[in-house]
């Protein structure tokens, strides 16, 4: 057999096994930014099946560019232990830490995939699955198919929990907003807790923005959580720019909330089996 055929067959067979294995997942995350990487790492380490769908070729979201393409980023000193746990190098400046953004993204990607997270890049989440009035997974297609507006049907990934980590656009929540399943905020400062999506985040405020993104990380519709900048857009909070502590803490907060829900669902499932 020609080596070119062997190479192609190995790629095809291994990819389709990987894809097939995550068609039913514990957690499906749209977007592979810093909060998604923190969330996926935390849950994958605990044995949950996590799949991350990234529309771009390069997972990592806004990490790579740092601030204005100066590839350095800033985190709060309280995350020193987190960086050291992942063997990420940093410099200390009073109560802030500075990290090379390429090093940071690479470390997060390495550790989460090592822990078992499956990242499917060039894959776009174009819709949601809903069973019994609960979000139950995602509908996916190749990003080139979306860009070229080809009439090609998608496939589905069923998940116990779905997470909107799409950043500023909050694409998954918008899918519910346009259907009237959650209220639309439309940039108004009124009723910001209605779980709609504002057209723009509020102006830059790093200090308050870092707190806001963690507080706004939550379940906004049964089975659908928001985190990171998607949570800011949904909640109408301020931008925070190239400081990433809030992004990591938002992902860790989402992991905590989701694990609590998954454990509760398992208890209910085990109870029903025992009862039968």
Average pLDDT over residues 199-222: 90
**Can you give the pTM of this predicted structure?**
0.92
What is the four-CA torsion angle of 251, 253, 254, 257, rounded to 10 degrees? 160
What is the reported pLDDT for 65? Answer: 93
Q: What is the pLDDT of residue 191?
A: 34
- Is 171 in contact with 30 (CB distance < 8 Å)? yes
- First vs last Cα of the chain: how many Å apart? 54
Question: Which band of pLDDT confidence, cut at 50, 70 and 90, is reported for residue 182?
Answer: confident
Please provide the DSSP assignment of 25-82 as one string: EEEEEE--SHHHHHHHHHHHHTT--EEEEESSSS-SGGGTTTBTTB-EEEEEGGGHHH
Q: Is residue 78 part of a domain?
A: yes
Mean pLDDT of 67-79: 96
What integer is the mean pLDDT of 242-262? 97
> What local confidence, expressed as pLDDT, does residue 80 receive?
98
**What is the predicted pLDDT for the residue at 189?**
34
Q: Residue 188 pLDDT > 90, yes or no?
A: no
Handedness of CA 238, 242, 246, 248 (dihedral sign): positive
Task: Establish if 179 belongs to a structural domain.
Answer: no
**Distance of alpha carbon 215 from alpha carbon 238, whole angstroms:** 12
Residue 45 domain-assigned?
A: yes
Q: Please determine, for residue 266, whether its predicted confidence score (pLDDT) is greater than 80.
A: no
pLDDT in tens, 16-51: 999 999 999 999 999 999 999 999 999 999 999 999
pLDDT of residue 187: 36
Q: What is the mean pLDDT of the chain?
A: 91
Least confident of 21-25, 42-46, 154-158, 193-197: 193-197
Q: Is the pLDDT of residue 72 over 60?
A: yes
Residue 276, pLDDT > 70, answer no
In a domain, 77, yes or no: yes
Residue 250: CB atoms within 10 A of its CB come to 32
Residue 88 structural domain: 26-117
The DSSP output letter for 203 is S
With 50 as the cut, is the pLDDT of residue 130 above it?
yes
% residues pLDDT > 70 (the chain): 90
Number of domains in the chain: 1
Residue 56 lies in a domain: yes
Which one-letter DSSP state was computed for residue 198? -
Residue 31 lies in a domain: yes
CATH number at residue 42: 3.50.50.60
What pLDDT score was predicted for residue 190? 37
**pLDDT, average across residues 59-87:** 96
Asked if residue 199 has pLDDT above 70, the reply is no
Is 232 in a helix, a strand, or coil?
A: helix
Is residue 13 in some structural domain? no
- Residue in 176, 29, 127, 214 with CA at minimum distance from that of residue 229: 214
Q: What is the pLDDT of residue 27?
A: 98
Residue 213 within a domain: no
pLDDT digits (tens, 9 = 90+) for 89-126: 999 999 999 999 999 999 999 999 999 999 999 999 99
């Amino acid at each position: 057999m020609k080596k070119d055929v062997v190479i192609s067959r190995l790629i095809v067979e291994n990819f389709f096994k990987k894809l097939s294995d995550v068609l039913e997942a514990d957690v499906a995350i749209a977007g592979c930014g810093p909060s998604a990487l923190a969330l996926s790492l935390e849950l994958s380490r605990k044995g949950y099946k996590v799949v991350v769908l990234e529309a771009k070729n390069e997972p990592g979201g806004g990490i790579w560019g740092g601030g204005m393409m100066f590839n350095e980023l800033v985190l709060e000193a309280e995350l020193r232990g987190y960086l050291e746990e992942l063997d990420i190098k940093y410099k200390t400046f009073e109560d802030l830490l500075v990290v090379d953004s390429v090093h940071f993204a690479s470390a997060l990607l390495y550790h989460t995939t090592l822990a078992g997270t499956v990242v499917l890049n060039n894959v776009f989440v174009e819709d949601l699955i809903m069973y019994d009035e609960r979000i139950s997974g995602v509908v996916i297609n190749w990003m080139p198919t979306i860009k070229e507006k080809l009439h090609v049907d998608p496939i589905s990934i069923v998940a116990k929990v779905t997470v909107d980590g799409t950043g500023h656009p909050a694409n998954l929540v918008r899918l519910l907003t346009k259907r009237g399943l959650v209220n639309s905020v439309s940039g108004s400062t009124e009723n910001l807790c209605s779980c709609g999506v504002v057209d723009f985040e509020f102006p830059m405020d790093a200090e308050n923005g870092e707190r806001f993104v963690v507080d706004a990380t939550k379940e906004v519709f049964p089975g659908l959580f928001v985190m990171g900048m998607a949570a800011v857009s949904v909640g109408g909070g301020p931008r925070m720019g190239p400081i990433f502590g809030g992004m990591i803490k938002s992902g860790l907060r989402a992991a905590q909330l989701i694990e609590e829900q998954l454990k509760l669902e398992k208890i209910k499932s085990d109870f029903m089996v025992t009862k039968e």
